[in-house]
Structure 1
Amino acid sequence: MKHTLLVVALAAAACAGASSAVQAQEAVDKATAAAFDNRMFAGPLGAKAYACFVRRYDANHLAQHPKQKVSAMKLLVSAEDAPEDKTTNYSFRLGVIYRHRSGNFDSSGYCNHAVATESGHEIRFECGVDCEGGGISVALSKDDKSAIARLSSIRMWNRNKPDDDASEELLAGADDKIFRVDRADARECAELVTDRKELAALRHK
């Protein structure tokens, strides 16, 4: 999937695990970015904001999409003020359950604002996983009640085996290219968070 970005994020995270701040204001103008943030996070950003989206696909949906590998998905998008850098850092966490196998699989990375010209100049978050691990784009439905996640490939890890040997790629097949996930209480996405302080903050949203 090819998107036209107005400006590429300034730096990529190193494979050793160092994180980079995504300069969202340089990808689109500040007013456009702020308007999208207001929609994504259901209000102005504070020191930290979360948006949680969840979908559990029922038997009827899966019967109509026999090639879909994912049976459930949770998406947590976060924004954190970084006053020392005079910017806002955006990140995502993704959790999936597969249709024909057991276990929970997760991924995460950093995001920046982008414009997708093939979708009528739609504003999205373009989110990537370190070390060429693929990623997702995240847009919003017109009523802001759902997120539209698109992928071509993304590296996932078995939650119970968090090492490189436990990683695998979720590839966009015939029924795994676009996912519509519905807005939910932030606590629905608590299982995707491992940091105790962040988990406490999320549960008080």
Structure 2
Amino acid sequence: MAFKGLDWRAVFTAGLSAALLGALFGPACADDALKLTELSPNGADACFGHVYDAAHLKAHPKQKVARIFFYYGHDPVSRTNEEPAHSDTSYNGFVTTTVRGAEAPQWAGGWCNHQSEDGKSGAIHCGMDCDRTLASLKVDDKGRLILSDLQPDIYLDADSEEELGTAEYTRQALGSEDDNFRLDPMPAATCKAEFARIDPIDPALGSPLRERLKPDQAFCYGHDYDAAHLASHPNQLTQSIRVFRGPVELASFASGGDAANWPDGADIAVSVTTREKSGKVTQTYSCQGEANQWRCAASSKMSNFSCDIAQKEIFLKRGANGTMMLANPNSSLAVVDLCSKAADGKTKSDDKVYRLEAMPQSACAP
């Protein structure tokens, strides 16, 4: 459940490494929210939290969490995002923690319900996607929230230990004493301010891509790298890059897309010229809005390649002052033949993150 030197994960998730951002939908319905009266007797959003002082952390060296807050209610995280306007995350429980030495918190969201058959009594369990546990909750006689069953890998993918290796998993996971927290009731505004620390709004970013780029609108973004840049980045293959929607992509969405769900189902094309090739390589991707970015999977439509490339992905995000950011974490940009062995591993060159400027449509012509 996570988006994980320029670290593309840091650029594109800014602390949202908890829930991957793709897993924002749960089985709970919006109408079921705010009905746990133990947490919220009056049905209002409820906040609980604790900030540990230096003395406590010194006495508990295996506790990584220095700040922890639990919010029960409406989504305190999503602000301007790329998901379709009518999307309902369905989450009603949100936890955010800041570990020692970290500048920003991480967060995860889920849905909380009583574990009894009637759903009205018993322990409160908060689940996450993929049948994972967010936390177990109960309120003591002083109104404090006891939060337990917080999993060490709450901000990591389900199979992250095998993928990362024991040492790196241990470094990224929570500590062995990061559980059984007693959180004090606080004003809802306190939790909202804490969650706002995750990804502070940058006014230079402007409106999301889904608002700037309309379903029936062609666009062209790109960058041409000069000799000086390439000389200072010897590991960068990309000489020229374009990201665009033209007549073909517009026609594809017009015939089968749903404007109400924009940008889900939007086709984009990416063309790359490398310093090693004289011709362009073009790849089509099909996108969906996911948190603060477009997640785009390589498509067989209008592709130069014939293998199964559905797992090859890129990510688009609004950049400052009208630019567009493109992240290519796993060799999924058409710098190389996506069917070749060279495309199997992580991108090891400088061809990971691009800042693209708006260009006239003629700059993206075939």
Coarse TM-score class (shorter-chain normalised)? 0.5 to 0.7
Deviation at 1:94, TM superposition (A): 0.7
Contact 1:69 1:100 in 2 (8 A): no
Q: CA distance change for structure 1 residues 132 and 100 in 2, over 3 Å: closer, same or farther?
A: farther
Counterparts of residues 53-132 of structure 1 (less than 5 Å)? 53-78=48-73, 91-114=92-115, 123-132=122-131
Identity percentage of aligned residues: 26
SS at match of 2:27: coil
Q: Distance in 1 between matches of 2:23 and 2:102?
A: 30
Partner of 1:20: 27
Partner of 1:41: 40
TM-score when normalising by structure 1? 0.57
Where does the alignment leave 5 or more consecutive residues of structure 2 unmatched?
Answer: 1-21, 76-89, 157-170, 200-366
Q: Distance in 1 between matches of 2:23 and 2:105?
A: 24
After superposition, give the CA deviation of every residue in 1:136-181 in whole Å (9 maximum; x if it has no partner): 111111121x100002515227xxxxxxxxxx974461x2121111
Q: CA distance change for structure 1 residues 90 and 139 in 2, over 3 Å: closer, same or farther?
A: farther
1:183 aligns with 2:185: yes
Where does the alignment leave 5 or more consecutive residues of structure 1 unmatched?
Answer: 1-14, 26-33, 81-88, 116-121, 158-167, 195-205
Q: Distance in 1 between matches of 2:148 and 2:175?
A: 9
Contact 2:25 2:91 in 1 (8 A): no
Aligned length: 144
Which structure has the larger Rg over C-alpha atoms? 2
Deviation at 1:112, TM superposition (A): 1.0
The alignment's C-alpha RMSD in Å is 3.6
SS at match of 1:128: strand
- Counterpart of 1:69, as a letter, is K
- Counterpart of 1:151, as a letter, is D
Q: CA distance change for structure 1 residues 93 and 16 in 2, over 3 Å: closer, same or farther?
A: closer
- Counterpart of 1:147, as a letter, is L
Contact 1:73 1:94 in 2 (8 A): yes
TM-score when normalising by structure 2? 0.34
After superposition, give the CA deviation of every residue in 1:117-149 in whole Å (9 maximum; x if it has no partner): xxxxx94320011124432111111121x1000
SS at match of 2:26: coil
Partner of 1:140: 139
- Counterpart of 2:187, as a letter, is D
Deviation at 1:102, TM superposition (A): 3.5
SS at match of 1:39: coil
Q: CA distance change for structure 1 residues 105 and 17 in 2, over 3 Å: closer, same or farther?
A: closer
Q: Distance in 2 between matches of 1:59 and 1:18?
A: 38
SS at match of 1:73: strand
After superposition, give the CA deviation of every residue in 1:71-125 in whole Å (9 maximum; x if it has no partner): 0001101279xxxxxxxx772111100014433111101111126xxxxxx9432
- Counterpart of 1:19, as a letter, is G
Partner of 2:47: 52
Deviation at 1:39, TM superposition (A): 3.1
Q: Distance in 2 between matches of 1:16 and 1:58?
A: 34
More RCO (CA 8 Å, sep 6+)? 1
Contact 1:54 1:182 in 2 (8 A): yes
